[in-house]
């Protein structure tokens, strides 16, 4: 069906996902590939953006973990149906700032929801569709929170969940990548952004056979 490729960037708060999605799209453009930027939750789909506000703003404890996972899944389905799948069918590539690994990391490793339940939810929401490549940006939790804190704004509900939670996320993302090495690549997000972006480009070039100019 789809002829475009689907790349996801994952990692904890402030790891550099948004920064590197933009830079990667510029690099893909320079390589003659039309790439669409996306983001979860929301992804520019009108209804999913309403769900985003329910998840990233407000009281830390406003949702129990199951409700939180269901809301992320509803937003994900909407984003796939309205943004990702139509773009891939046109032959465009999609680069998404977060996708389903964030649900496994945050609601699974972070809040303690059962792995099997989250996998079942994936099956219902996404089916057998998978990203062609997932880049996990790895950064110590404390450093990520420091970087994210400088950004400001009111989309900080997850940022306020405490250091322990964020350390579990980091371990969770690394474990997810270890379990699926054919899909996931871990990149050290500590160096300056030019160096991180060069590592991302090398990885996309190798895994997805792109020739960057």
Ligand X SMILES: Nc1ncnc2c1ncn2[C@@H]1O[C@H](COP(=O)(O)OP(=O)(O)OP(=O)(O)O)[C@@H](O)[C@H]1O
Binding site for ligand X (CB under 6 A): 11, 13-19, 147-148, 150-151, 192-193, 196
Q: Which does 14 bind (CB under 5 to 8 A by kind): ligand X, Mg ion, none?
A: ligand X
The answer to the question of residue 156 lying near Mg ion (CB under 5 A) is: no
* Residues with Cβ within 8 Å of residue 142, at least 6 apart in sequence: 163, 166
For the CB of residue 90, give the shortest distance to Mg ion in the complex, in Å.
Answer: 26
For the CB of residue 145, give the shortest distance to ligand X in the complex, in Å.
Answer: 9
For the CB of residue 21, give the shortest distance to ligand X in the complex, in Å.
Answer: 8
Q: Which among 116, 137, 152, 158 is positioned nearest to 20, based on CA atoms?
A: 137
For the CB of residue 108, give the shortest distance to ligand X in the complex, in Å.
Answer: 17
Q: Which does 40 bind (CB under 5 to 8 A by kind): Mg ion, ligand X, none?
A: none
Q: Rounded to whole angstroms, how far apart are CA atoms 178 and 180? A: 6
The answer to the question of residue 18 lying near Mg ion (CB under 5 A) is: yes
| Residue at token pair 């950064």 | 139
The answer to the question of residue 37 lying near Mg ion (CB under 5 A) is: no
Please, which residue, 5 or 166, has the CB nearer to ligand X? 166
Max Cα distance, the chain (Å):
48
Q: In terms of DSSP H, where are the helices of 59-160?
A: 65-79, 85-89, 100-103, 115-126, 141-149
For the CB of residue 167, give the shortest distance to ligand X in the complex, in Å.
Answer: 15
**Cα-Cα-Cα-Cα dihedral sign, residues 111, 112, 115, 117:** negative
Q: Rounded to whole angstroms, how far apart are CA atoms 26 and 34? A: 9
Stretch that binds Mg ion, among 15-23, 86-94, 139-147, 191-199 (CB under 5 A): 15-23
Binding residues for Mg ion (CB under 5 A): 18
């Amino acid at each position: 069906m789809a002829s475009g490729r689907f790349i996801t960037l994952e990692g904890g708060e402030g790891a550099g996902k948004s920064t590197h999605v933009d830079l990667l799209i510029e690099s893909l453009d320079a390589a003659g590939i039309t790439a669409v930027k996306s983001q979860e939750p929301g992804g520019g789909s009108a209804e999913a953006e309403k769900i985003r506000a329910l998840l990233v703003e407000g009281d830390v404890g406003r949702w129990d973990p199951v409700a939180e996972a269901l809301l992320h899944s509803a937003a994900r389905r909407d984003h796939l149906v309205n943004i990702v799948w139509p773009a891939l069918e046109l032959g465009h590539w999609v680069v998404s700032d977060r996708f389903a690994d964030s649900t496994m990391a945050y609601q699974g490793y972070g809040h303690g929801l059962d792995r099997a339940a989250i996998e079942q939810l994936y099956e219902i929401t996404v089916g057998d569709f998978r990203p062609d490549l997932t880049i996990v940006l790895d950064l110590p939790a404390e450093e990520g929170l420091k970087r994210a804190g400088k950004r400001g704004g009111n989309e900080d509900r997850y940022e306020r969940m405490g250091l322990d939670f964020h350390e579990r996320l980091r371990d969770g993302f690394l474990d997810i990548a270890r379990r699926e090495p054919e899909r996931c690549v871990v990149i050290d997000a500590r160096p300056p952004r030019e160096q991180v972006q060069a590592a991302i480009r090398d990885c996309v070039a190798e895994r997805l056979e792109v020739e960057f100019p």
